[in-house]
Structure 1
Amino acid sequence: MQFTGTDTYVASDDLKVAVNAAVTLQRPLLVKGEPGTGKTELARQVANSLGLRMIEWNIKSTTKAQQGLYEYDAVSRLRDSQLGDEKVNDVSNYIKKGKLWQAFESDERLVLLIDEIDKADIEFPNDLLQELDKMEFHVYETGQTIRAEQRPIVIITSNNEKELPDAFLRRCFFHYINFPDADTLRQIVEVHHKGIKPELLTTALTRFYEIRETPGLKKKPSTSEVLDWLKLLLAEDLSAEDLRKDGANALPKLHGALLKNEQDVHLFERLAFMARRDR
């Protein structure tokens, strides 16, 4: 079972090695990188490539580790007992299975994505240490032990918003997705925008990297944002010459796809003003 990439996802050699190493070691693959570099999409593509079903657990700031295992609805059980409902005699009627439970009870191997783990509080990763290590957990209300029938391929993503505990990191295989260089980004673009004119692509990517490397930029545009920008350029039927007319210091055309806060827009407005003043 080897991940070799797909026709719709350009994976670097070191990323393929990381995925396959995690599968071989039966360890969670922890993937970090800038937002928009394809961390979440990686899990979907691994599932597609290997022909496996995927379960996705999207983490929020309010998510608790227990929710990934199960949730016990004691309030509903109390209400039903007051109404004389017979189903209160079976506590399992009030247990909602979490994403880990669903993955563990599967008869077939699957991919389990724990997306943006760093959004939760600092104790969240520690609270899942034993469950992800041993691939089992205990249900206190029923006395059951839920054990993985087939060990899932676990992919965990992080945007590096907060540090993860050392004990958690020790149990993972780690990979950082670097921002793609120009040649790799060109391949990614050609997958999503087949037939794009080479001159337009070269000019657009040159302009894009100039924007990313502008000193003082608060949020650098990502891979997903350059794909959106190119889609708009194609929709507006803009040419390479149209982009060159802007000049390196001007606010780029359709800049709302690339610049996502007012500070960065103001930065380019100031650069454009200074460029005009110095002519």
Structure 2
Amino acid sequence: MTARMSVPTPPTLYIEGPAFWTPTLPGWDAARAAFRGEGGLADPPAKRPSPQVLAPAERRRAPDTVALALEVAAASMAGAGRNAADVPCVFVSAHGDLSINDYMCSTLATDPTVLSPTRFHNSVHNAAVGYWTIGTGCMAASNSVSAYENSFAAGLLEAAVQCAADQSPVLLVGYDTPTVGPLTSVTDSQGLLAVALVIAPERTERTVAALDWSVQDNGGSTVPAPLSDAAKTLAHINPMAHALGLFEALARLEDDPPPIGLPLSSTLSLRLQLRQVRD
């Protein structure tokens, strides 16, 4: 019998600059307070963010996906205290821009000659990361990832592996928007939600948590149910809701949160363990 080869334990990584945006929790400070039971949902809900990374004209034309992604990306960079031009990035979305896809399909089916070049330009899955790298002057590596309902886990794994391999911080940005038109019969994405964080290979003064991670057999792993009342309202908002368990744990690190298992596929899952960083 051949002995199974041992799998090296991935290195501990460090999280900086958590960022969060949804209309009822427009920012990490609001989300963290709500996840701790110390704050409520915004009423009325916030309007779509207007990311300052873009020039005013581009800001007005940017679709929701771009506005959301760039808002949390900029907030994460500010929280991490890093220069966006120097940090590689992984942007992840299960669907890309569903409203533009609906527009394009409808227009092509009815009057294709009036298709908007600008909206066509914004329909590609990597539009958001393209706007980010142009707006910040980032020449580092950039990726746009999609893995349907497991997109957040796949993006987090991509960022963690890249960080560990290159010994360089990586910005992770996840975002999705509502389904419209006939696409609602295929996928049920109900609202706006975006998250971001920086994964770093070493601890810094901006570190908020240590992250132990590994890929394991799925074993029937499912996305953990939200714990707080605020997170429960977002449980089915869109595929980025899979990030809620991680962000709730970040909000309550002093409670020594249990491990989080996020499905990557029918056979594999990403195991995460957050720890407080102590002197």
Q: TM-score range by the shorter chain?
A: under 0.3
Higher normalized helix content (fraction of residues) = 1
Larger Rg, first or second structure (1 or 2): 1
Relative contact order, higher structure (CA 8 A, sep 6+): 2
TM-score by length of 2: 0.25
